[in-house]
Amino acid sequence: MVLSKAKMTPFTFINSVLLLGVAFVTIYPFLHMIAVSLSGDVHVMRGDVNLIPKELTFKNYEHVLSDSRIGTGYFNTILYVTLGTAISLIITAMGAYALSKKTMIFRKGFMIMIVFTILFGGGMIPTFLVVKSLGLLDTVWAMVLPQAVSTWNLIIMRTFFSATIPNELEESAKIDGLNDLGIFARIVLPLSKPVLATIGLFYAVGIWNNFILPLLYLRDDALYPLQVILRNLVLVEQMADVSGGDAVVVQESIQYATILVSTLPILLLYPFLQKYFVKGVMIGSLKE
């Protein structure tokens, strides 16, 4: 549509105000947490900090970072994210490429088998028993294997491969003597960096944020990732307040600092990553 036609009608005005409101509601909680976590105790206790820190101080962050549990949580989370993303990405790319080849035998059957798992699954307990019987409980593997492949990501990748890699290229490579493994490793992967980055990010964020796997499969607190530590530090203590006793107000700024410390990487990287996220959805919504 023509840009010069944009006049300030009453509708445009109300609409803009409304959407500005949406933007504010989205970002306000984060700004408020940052402000409180950086403010002096007196002001937090009085409750007069809103969006701007008063009596700027970093002592809440010093307090949080000196907690050894946060350090362990960070270490574990980073380990799970790197290992898990690598495994998930490799397996998914390999499988998606195979599924994108119309010549593969049983292709349709495999596809049905995979899509069926969206509709029906064994549920929490039978899955737990399988993980347990494999001896994965309380190991790093329980954090990376049970959700290694996401059906959604697999389908996105398959769609990408079949839509963007020209068949002629693969045929000529075949004539030159490459087999499917060679084509995949030397032609398809180098051409697919955008989708690999996108899906890798989806996996990484998913593992970073995961709470169910550690809740179900970890008992040893030395293996706890950040999310479990965060829950123990913020939610469990808060819920203890619920069952009686006065809530300690100063806690609030430490709780916010804890929340922010464990979300920091995502908040900081978000502006750079969000275009990849959107790309992922767009590829996924393409139809074959």
Which residues between 42 and 101 bind other proteins (CB under 8 A)? 47, 91-92, 94-95, 97-99, 101
Structure tokens at 201: 């990010």
Query: What residues between 213 and 242 interact with other proteins by CB under 8 A?
Result: 215-216, 227-228, 230-231, 234-235, 238-239, 241-242
117 backbone dihedrals φ, ψ, rounded to 5° = -70, -15
What is the largest distance, in Å, between two alpha-carbon atoms of the chain?
77
Q: Is the dihedral of CA 60, 65, 66, 70 positive or negative?
A: positive
Among 29, 163, 171, 221, binds other proteins (CB under 8 A): 29
Which residue's CB is nearer to other proteins, number 66 or number 285? 285
Q: Does 103 bind other proteins (CB under 8 A)?
A: yes
Please say which residue, 26 or 68, places its beta carbon nearer to other proteins. 26
Binding other proteins (rule: CB under 8 A), the pick from 52, 56, 104, 163 is 104
**Token pair for residue 103?**
């010549």
Residue placing its CB nearer to other proteins in the complex, 102 or 193? 102
Q: Which residues between 249 and 268 bind other proteins (CB under 8 A)?
A: 249, 252, 255-256, 259, 262-263, 266
Binding letters toward other proteins, positions 121-140, x by CB under 8 A: xxxxxxxxxxx--x------
Of positions 81, 143, 145, 165, contacts other proteins by CB under 8 A:
145
Segment interacting with other proteins (CB under 8 A) among 55-63, 65-73, 162-170, 179-187 = 179-187
Instruction: By CB under 8 A, name the one of 26, 175, 193, 245 that touches other proteins.
Output: 26
- How many other C-beta atoms are found inside a 10 Å radius of the C-beta of residue 186? 12
Query: In the complex with other proteins, which residue's Cβ is closer, 119 or 222?
Result: 119
Q: Which stretch binds other proteins (CB under 8 A): 52-60, 66-74, 163-171, 277-285?
A: 277-285
